Chain A
Amino acid sequence: MPDAPVRTQRPVLVVDDDYDVRDAIADVLEIEGISAAFAGDGIEALQWLRDHPPPCLILLDWMMPRCDGASFREVQKSDPVLARIPVVLLTADARIDEKMRALDVAACLRKPVDLERLSSVIRKYCDFDGAP
């Protein structure tokens, strides 16, 4: 997206086992001028975090094979560097408030996610490099 404003050099890490969801979020991030990194589950996400500088935001799915959102959060919070990365939970579950408290996340978006809400969350956490 050559003419899109580049707000940050740091990507958003999208952790979701569903390819279509990851792909759709990537398209939204592209419009926002933010690069995206992907992980299919918590284990892949932790692997990516170990190999890369911290992303500006982690968009985290709740239900995933192998290592779900809760297990990921447990490991993430135990690491002081990783713990500072804000996490927004994406879930199809109706019990959002319960989940937010349990996972201690910055925000929680219910699937299907509304574009406006997703964009505003992304801007809120990824806008610190200033407008172009």
Chain B
Amino acid sequence: MSPSDVDSTGADLLQLVNGITDYAIFLLDTTGHIVTWNAGAQRIKGYRPEEIIGRHFSVFYPLADIADHKPERELEIAARDGRFEDEGWRLRKDGSRFWASVIITALRSPEGELRGFGKVTRDLSERWLGRLLEGVVNAIEDGIVVRDRRGDPVWANEAAASLGGWASAADLVQEQNASDDPTHELTDENGKVLARQDLPAARVMRGEPTAATVVRVREKATGRIWWGTVRARPILGSFGEPELAVSVWRDVSVERRRQEASRYLSRAAKVLTETLDYGTTMSRLARLLVPELADWCTVDVLEDGALRNLAVAHVDPAKVELARELQARYPPRLGEPTGVAAVVKTGRSQLVPELNDAVLVSGARGDPDLLRILRELGLRSAMTVPLRARDQVLGAMTLISAESRRIYDESDLALAEELGVRAGTAIDNARAYGEARAAIKLRDEFLSVAGHELRTPLTALQLQLQSLDAAFARGQVVAEPARWEPRVHKTVGHAYRLQRLIDELLDVSRITSGRLSLEREPMDLAELAREVVERHTPEAQRSGSTVTLELSGNTRGNWDRTRLDQVLTNLLSNAVKYGAGKPIALCVIGPGDGEAKVRLVVRDHGIGIDREAQPRIFGRFERAVSERHYGGFGLGLWIVRELVEAHGGRVRFESEPGRGSTFYVDLPTEITHA
């Protein structure tokens, strides 16, 4: 090639370079100052040649790069290695950034002397956008599905696949087609089924305006329910027609659950305060939760140590009937390791996300009939939560899904537990109200009994006093003192009896207000027993019975004599009153080996105590035979228990209706605190 050829080729090349608009191609001197500027450089960077030639090339770099001396380092590398390549942000004249591919080449003389640098820059912003987009769609949790005009998915991100339950985005694209999806049931907020043409993607394809749509998605196979909002935007084709639809699905289940929970809780709050009959309340609550939250809802409460079913709800009345039959045939029993009994015992909720066959088999307790029914019911998922109030477990509520195929998770359990607390509080309030009402009724009955009881000795007292008064007036008392004297003694006895009744009433207030104090002194219980028996002999004789006293061992201790007199008197009076004229035994037994208690036994062979009444004979104002009048306030045994327990002792009894009762009192000989 001749020099002129070279010259002309160089001129051609220069022309070519200057005409290139897709690349910025320019020369730098050895210090990095711009020497030439082509059309591409002007287009990409925005500078005209006269604005930029002579300036340092670092003007194209963001401040952060300049601070890092990146421009200088790039030239150093290019000078050393002959070439430097980079991709990164560069600045246009207007300050905007573009993503640039840069190649800097060291230019040297044939002798190897550095003459400057050639720099080729390309604007790769579009390629950057692609990378950006890829990063974004993979990073976000929203599911993105792109559909063609037929509605077939052409692309989806991984989030869309995991939202919809596909193994991968590729599976989603492959398995979903334009027809309605048979694997998912989509409904709107009101429960109306949504077909694919109702969804935003189809609507934007039809050119209809769309807002975000709330969709409830139920996976038919698993029963999993989630809530999404979906929006769609069209991608227009060359002719301005929607070519593709981009749908963005966002999982709003957490928010929806929260809303759903607060809706249920506020509806439950209304139901729970409607009535004080908690049986009715629990039925209403169970019906409120069916079928949205559960296909089955049952409520069991603990009453008198046993579980009682208060409510069973299912949308189908025939199934409710079946459940009642099952409840009757197979009631939950306390002590069972799982289910209602266990929840009531431990106070801990149970969540069984999948009621698989193994769970049903263990629930059937080896009963083939029950197992068959359980299998037929198609039970799917279950949770049992305690009904709780004031740190007490009052019962349990069970929610079971069947037909809906719903699978319960921790958030469902949290809602159920909250409902359990509210239901427990409602039961507790209703019970407290019932107890208060019963207490008021009892008090009113007691006042009427008290009136009667005080009038009886008052009758005797008044008749005697009025007789004496009349006898005095007639001078008979002076004339025949021996005849009237016994009557004076009787009035003293009646007054004493009245005083005892009034003391008893005062004891009630003293004990209930915690003002009972014991005056302990060394004393012998046997001695006191002898006195009390002596005092009761006339009364016992009138009823036809005898009282025998048996004493053994050392019966001394530190006790309140007056109070133990009351204990003995009350027990012995009862034995006489209910003893049916049969022999009564009072035993005082000193401590056995290693014991530090004196035992008192009062045994009669009278009418005994009805089994039904036995649990409450130590209650205040309780008299086991209240319907048939036996006199007294019905406070005697309550006072006995309070006084014995104040001494740190215990009282218990054995009774056989028609055969008599035996009361045992154990009193510690040393001071202990009850």
Contacts and interface: CB of A to CB of B under 8 A. Distances in A.
Interface of A: 17-21, 23-25, 27-28, 31, 63-66, 68, 90, 92-94, 111-116, 118
A99 to B, nearest CB: 13
B363 to A, nearest CB: 53
A112 B454 CA distance: 9
Interface stretch (B50-58, B59-67, B437-445, B464-472): B464-472
Given A65-B625, A65-B629, A111-B459, A20 B466 contact: no
Nearest to B486: A27
A28 B460 contact: no
A66 B464 CA distance: 28
B561 to A, nearest CB: 27
Contacts of B460: 18, 20-21, 23-24
A63 B625 CA distance: 13
B37 to A, nearest CB: 122
B463 A113 contact: yes
A20 B493 CA distance: 9
Interface in B370-398: none
B455 A92 contact: yes
B628 A24 contact: no
B628 A20 contact: no
A21 B452 CA distance: 13
Given A66-B628, A68-B629, A27 B455 contact: no
Contacts of B451: 92, 94
B461 interface: yes
A118 B470 CA distance: 14
B538 to A, nearest CB: 9
Given A21-B456, A92-B452, A112-B458, A27 B463 contact: yes
B653 interface: no
Given A20-B493, A115-B470, A27 B629 contact: no
B497 interface: yes
Interface in B16-45: none
Interface string B613-636: 000000000000100111100000
B228 interface: no
Interface in B426-451: 451
Given A31-B467, A63-B629, A112-B462, A19 B457 contact: no
B463 A28 contact: yes
A33 to B, nearest CB: 14
Contacts of A28: 463, 467
B487 interface: yes
B97 interface: no
B633 to A, nearest CB: 13
Given A20-B497, A24-B490, A113 B625 contact: no
A27 B487 contact: yes
A92 B449 CA distance: 10
Contact of B459 (A21, A27, A64, A93): A21
B88 to A, nearest CB: 106
A115 B466 contact: yes
Given A20-B494, A92-B451, A27 B462 contact: no
B250 to A, nearest CB: 76
Contacts of A115: 462-463, 466-467, 470
16 contacts: A17-B630, A20-B494, A23-B490, A24-B459, A24-B464, A27-B487, A27-B490, A63-B452, A64-B629, A65-B628, A66-B628, A92-B456, A94-B451, A111-B455, A111-B459, A112-B455
Contacts of B497: 20
Contacts of A25: 463
Contacts of A23: 460, 490
Contacts of A19: 539, 542
A110 B494 CA distance: 18
A65 B630 contact: yes
A21 to B, nearest CB: 5
Contacts of B490: 20, 23-24, 27
Contacts of A64: 629
Nearest to B453: A92
Contacts of A94: 451
Given A92-B455, A112-B458, A24 B542 contact: no
A42 to B, nearest CB: 11
Contacts of A66: 628
Contact of A114 (B456, B462, B464, B487): B462
Given A19-B542, A112-B463, 20 more contacts: A17-B629, A18-B456, A18-B457, A19-B539, A20-B456, A20-B490, A21-B460, A24-B460, A24-B461, A25-B463, A27-B464, A31-B471, A65-B625, A65-B630, A92-B451, A92-B456, A112-B455, A112-B458, A113-B463, A114-B462
B467 A113 contact: no
- Candidate in A18, A28, A93, A111 with the most chain B CB atoms within 10 angstroms: A111
Nearest to B630: A65
A7 to B, nearest CB: 17
A31 B464 CA distance: 11
Interface in B538-552: 539, 542
Contacts of B487: 27
Nearest to B471: A31
A112 to B, nearest CB: 4
A76 to B, nearest CB: 19
A99 B462 CA distance: 23
A93 B452 contact: yes
Contacts of A68: 628-629
Contacts of B470: 31, 115
A36 to B, nearest CB: 13
A64 B629 CA distance: 5
Interface in B224-247: none
Interface string B412-427: 0000000000000000
A83 to B, nearest CB: 25
Contacts of B459: 18, 21, 24, 90, 92, 111-113
Nearest to B629: A63
A118 B464 CA distance: 12
A115 B461 CA distance: 11
B467 A112 contact: no
A24 B461 CA distance: 8
B477 to A, nearest CB: 12
Contacts of B631: 17-18
B452 A24 contact: no
